[in-house]
């Protein structure tokens, strides 16, 4: 049952990254490339009917984590308390930036909430990438100091950074050069993804420019991915051991590579949705490859005193996990029905939706 719920959790997280990821990317595009009111309206129209439903997936991920892996939930929500509070505030400012902008027709008012929406989207993409970096790198479980565990084996707490900015320090921070690298990858990947969504859902004058942006950022993405793979050996001496043991797992990085290669053809796609498909493949393949590389760990330990947190030592009791399957099946059916209705109602281009007009 632990494996089943782990697959459910990762699937829901992947759906969240793909769906809310294009919202974050659209916000970054809004911040840097939307110069006219027409361009700004095109972007908010593209994501307006979807963004709040997309964010519900994050709440659902937290609910499944609490239910199926309570020890991991307790450990993570205490250890990552500071960045989680920052993410919460950024989610709030991003939402109110969208909702409050149209309340008053005033240039200064609109500019304030435009910046709130764009900057919050940028920082959310950065922090979620940094979060992935922390999971790959691991944390000092038990808060070991000079070889002595000062707390329970699953406890840790991280400041935002440490004085060395190193991922190999005994007392780690949330942000170091390795996690920041993954954060930058997150920003670039979601900017590409958001640009592809805008191209897919609008006939904006921005679209031609955004295709060039996607192409150029994809070159940057390739360089960042290669760099991250090279420095991964600094963090984990054998980062591909699971792939060597289970060769079928190589399909996951192949999916990510397919997405990267496909994005180089964005200028020649005849259908606007093709770019979004390839950026989705990259996100799914990259996330799945990262998860597969550390499996069955869910939070590695950076010390030799306390063991890694795995899906087996953080899971709830088998009885609870089994009963939960029935409720999950009901919820899954309802969610699928809702999403089918939502995307059928808002099928096609969104230029005339008029989201945020009051």
pLDDT tens digit sequence for 198-209: 999 888 888 889
pTM above 0.85, yes or no: yes
* Residue 357: predicted pLDDT: 60
Separation CA 113–CA 169 (nearest Å): 39
Between helices 2-32 and 37-47, what is the axis angle to 10°? Answer: 170
* Residue 197: predicted pLDDT: 93
Determine, yes or no, domain membership for 337: yes
Per-10-residue mean pLDDT, the chain, length 358: 90 92 93 87 86 87 91 90 91 88 82 91 94 90 82 86 83 90 95 94 87 94 93 82 90 94 89 91 94 90 88 88 88 89 83 66
Determine, yes or no, domain membership for 97: yes
DSSP for 295-320 reads: TTEEE-BSSSSSPPEETTTS---HHH
Query: Which residue blocks in 80-166 are alpha helix, DSSP H?
Result: 81-100, 107-137
* Residue 168: predicted pLDDT: 82
Determine, yes or no, domain membership for 350: no
Determine, yes or no, domain membership for 188: yes
CB contact set of 65 (below 8 Å; sequence gap of 6+): 9, 72, 73, 76
Determine, yes or no, domain membership for 71: yes
Q: 80 near 131, Cβ under 8 Å?
A: yes
What percent of the chain has pLDDT above 70?
Answer: 98
Determine, yes or no, domain membership for 219: yes
Determine, yes or no, domain membership for 354: no
* Residue 356: predicted pLDDT: 62
Give strand pairing partners of 149: 144
Give strand pairing partners of 295: none
Domains identified in the chain, total number:
1
Determine, yes or no, domain membership for 212: yes
Q: Does an H or E element contain 149, and which?
A: strand 148-149
User: Can you give the residue range of the structural domain that contains 211?
Assistant: 2-345
* Residue 145: predicted pLDDT: 84
């Amino acid at each position: 049952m632990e494996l089943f719920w782990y697959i459910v959790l990762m699937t829901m997280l992947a759906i969240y990254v793909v769906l809310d990821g294009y919202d974050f990317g659209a916000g970054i595009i809004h911040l840097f490339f939307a110069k006219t009111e027409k361009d700004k309206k095109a972007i908010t129209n593209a994501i307006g009917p979807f963004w709040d439903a997309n964010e519900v997936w994050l709440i659902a991920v937290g609910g499944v984590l609490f239910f199926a892996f309570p020890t991991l939930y307790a450990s993570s929500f205490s250890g990552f308390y500071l960045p989680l509070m920052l993410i919460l505030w950024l989610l709030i400012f991003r939402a109110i930036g969208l909702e409050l902008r149209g309340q008053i027709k005033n240039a200064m008012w609109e500019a304030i909430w435009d910046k709130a929406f764009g900057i919050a989207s940028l920082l959310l993409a950065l922090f979620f990438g940094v979060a992935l970096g922390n999971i790959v790198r691991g944390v000092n479980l038990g808060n070991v100091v000079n070889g002595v565990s000062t707390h329970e084996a699953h406890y840790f707490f991280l400041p935002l950074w440490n004085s060395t900015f190193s991922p190999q320090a005994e007392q780690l921070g949330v942000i170091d050069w390795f996690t920041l690298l993954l954060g930058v990858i997150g920003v670039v990947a979601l900017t590409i993804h958001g640009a592809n969504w805008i191209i897919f859902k609008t006939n904006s004058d921005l679209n031609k420019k955004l295709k060039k942006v996607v192409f150029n950022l994809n070159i940057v993405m390739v360089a960042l991915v290669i760099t991250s793979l090279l420095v991964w050996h600094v963090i984990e001496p054998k980062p591909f051991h699971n792939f060597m043991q289970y060769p079928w797992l190589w399909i996951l990085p192949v999916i990510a590579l397919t997405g990267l290669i496909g994005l180089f053809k964005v200028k020649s796609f005849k259908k606007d949705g093709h770019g979004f498909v390839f950026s989705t493949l990259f996100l799914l393949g990259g996330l799945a490859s990262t998860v597969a590389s550390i499996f069955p760990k869910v939070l590695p330990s950076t010390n030799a005193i306390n063991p890694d947190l795995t899906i087996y030592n953080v899971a709830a009791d088998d009885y609870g996990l089994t009963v939960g399957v029935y409720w999950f099946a009901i919820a899954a059916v309802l969610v699928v029905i809702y999403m089918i209705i939502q995307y059928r109602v808002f099928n096609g281009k969104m230029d005339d939706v008029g989201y945020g007009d009051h």
